[in-house]
C-alpha cells in the first residue's frame, strides 16, 4: 500500500490538490525536465491523484519537486484530469497558501519554478497572494474560425503560461444556469481552433459583462479536460491582460478586475516586459483557502487504484 499525503485548497472556488509526500522520484534536473519523466514514466500517478474515484474532472493537481533554481522556494508541476499544465495561476495561489499553512513560508516574495519558467508569488499580510506570471503576449489578433453548429467565431490567441483562445463576441450570457451550453460551445470552438491551424490552444475563454459591482468583466474558461474553471483563471486573466495591453485598452499599472462564472474575482495588472514584442509581465492577485489534509491510499488490488481513465 502506497501512501500519498495531500493538501487540498480552493482559489475562488477552483480546487487544487498538492502532493506533499509520496510522489514519484523524477530524478534531477529542471522542473521542465522532470515534467518529461513524470509524463513518460508516472502518468498513472497523475490520474490516481486527480481522477475519480479519489478526485474529479475539475480538480487540478500539483506535485511539489525540488527546484533546480536554488533561488526558488519550491518547484511545482501542475496537472489535471487529462494531462499537464504549463502554469496555473489559481494553483500557484493555492500552493502559496498551502506552504504558509505548513509553516514553510511567511509573508513576502517567493520564487517558484514551474515547467514554463520562474514565477514570483507574494504572500500578503492579509493572506491574499499575488503571482507575477511568466512573460505573456498575444500571438494572433482576431483569428476567425468556422465552428460547426455556430458559424464564424473571432478571437485572439494568447500565451500566458498556457495557450488561450479569447472570444468576446459569442452572443451567450455568462451565467451558471448556462454552463452546459457554454461547455458545448467552448468545446466546439476549441476543436475548430485546433483543426484550423492553432494546435497549441488548450483553453478557450469567453468574456462578457460583469454581474457584480467593481468587476470589469466576467469570464467562462474551458480547460483541456472539459471542466470549466470556477475561478477567473490566473493564466486566463494574464492572457486577457496581454490582449488589453496590445490593444491599448489597459495601461501599465492599471487594475483589471476579472470575475469568474461563479462570481469570484482576481485583480490583475501588468508591466511591459518587452514592449516591441508586445510582451507583458502580468501580476494576478487572489485568495485561497485550505480545506483538507488527507492521506491517499494506493493499493494495487484496488481496480481503480490509478483512477478511472
Q: Taking the CA atoms of the chain, what radius of gyration do you get in angstroms?
A: 19
Q: Does position 58 bind ligand PYC by CB under 6 A?
A: no
Helical ranges in the chain per DSSP H: 31-41, 43-50, 89-101, 179-195, 234-246
Catalytic one among 72, 115, 223, 233? Answer: 233
Task: Give how far Cα 136 sits from Cα of 55, 80, 103, 273, Å.
Answer: 31, 22, 32, 9
Q: 112 is written with which cell numbers?
A: 517558484
Instruction: Establish whether 88 is a catalytic residue.
Output: yes
Q: Does position 229 bind ligand PYC by CB under 6 A?
A: yes
**Which of 90, 110 has the CB closer to ligand PYC?**
90
Which residues, listed in sequence order, are joined to residue 15 by a DSSP beta bridge? 10
**Which of 98, 235 has the CB closer to ligand PYC?**
235
Among 23, 67, 234, 268, binds ligand PYC (CB under 6 A): 234
* Residue that has been written with the C-alpha cell 480538480 in this structure: 59
Among the candidate windows 81-89, 110-118, 149-157, 240-248, which touches ligand PYC by CB under 6 A?
Answer: 81-89
Q: Does position 265 bind ligand PYC by CB under 6 A?
A: no
**Which of 60, 245 has the CB closer to ligand PYC?**
60
**Which of 150, 259 has the CB closer to ligand PYC?**
259
How many residues touch ligand PYC (CB under 6 A)? 12
Catalytic one among 72, 88, 115, 223? Answer: 88
Touching ligand PYC, residues 93-152 (CB under 6 A)? none
With b for 16 or more beta-carbon neighbours within 10 A and e for fewer, the 211-248 pattern comes to: eeeebbbbbbbbbbbebbbbbbbbbbbbbbbbbbbbee
Amino acid at each position: 500500500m502506497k501512501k500519498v499525503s495531500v493538501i487540498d485548497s480552493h482559489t475562488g472556488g477552483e480546487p487544487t490538490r498538492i502532493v506533499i509526500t509520496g510522489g514519484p522520484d523524477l530524478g534531477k534536473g529542471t522542473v521542465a525536465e522532470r515534467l518529461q519523466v513524470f509524463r513518460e514514466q508516472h502518468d498513472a500517478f497523475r490520474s490516481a491523484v486527480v481522477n475519480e474515484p479519489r478526485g474529479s474532472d475539475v480538480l487540478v493537481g500539483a506535485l511539489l519537486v525540488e527546484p533546480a533554481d536554488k533561488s526558488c522556494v519550491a518547484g511545482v508541476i501542475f496537472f489535471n484530469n487529462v494531462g499537464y499544465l504549463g502554469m496555473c495561476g489559481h494553483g500557484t495561489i493555492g500552493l502559496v497558501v498551502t506552504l504558509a499553512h505548513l509553516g514553510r513560508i511567511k509573508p513576502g516574495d517567493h520564487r517558484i519554478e514551474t515547467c514554463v519558467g520562474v514565477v514570483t508569488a507574494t504572500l500578503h499580510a492579509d493572506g491574499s497572494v499575488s503571482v507575477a506570471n511568466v512573460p505573456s503576449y498575444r500571438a494572433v489578433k482576431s483569428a476567425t474560425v468556422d465552428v460547426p453548429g455556430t458559424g464564424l467565431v473571432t478571437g485572439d490567441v494568447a500565451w500566458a503560461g498556457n495557450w488561450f483562445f479569447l472570444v468576446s463576441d459569442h452572443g451567450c450570457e455568462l451565467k451558471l444556469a448556462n454552463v452546459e451550453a457554454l461547455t458545448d460551445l467552448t468545446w466546439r470552438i476549441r476543436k475548430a481552433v485546433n483543426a484550423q491551424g492553432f494546435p497549441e490552444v488548450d483553453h478557450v475563454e469567453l468574456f462578457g459583462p460583469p454581474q457584480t459591482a467593481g468587476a470589469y468583466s466576467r469570464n467562462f474558461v474551458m480547460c483541456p479536460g472539459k471542466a470549466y474553471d470556477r475561478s477567473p483563471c490566473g493564466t486566463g486573466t494574464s492572457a486577457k491582460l496581454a490582449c488589453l495591453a496590445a490593444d491599448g485598452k489597459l495601461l501599465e499599472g492599471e487594475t483589471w478586475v476579472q470575475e469568474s462564472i461563479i462570481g469570484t474575482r482576481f485583480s490583475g495588472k501588468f508591466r511591459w516586459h518587452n514592449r516591441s514584442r508586445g510582451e507583458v509581465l502580468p501580476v494576478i492577485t487572489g485568495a485561497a483557502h485550505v480545506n483538507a489534509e488527507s492521506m491517499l491510499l494506493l493499493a494495487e488490488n484496488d481496480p481503480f487504484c490509478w483512477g478511472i481513465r
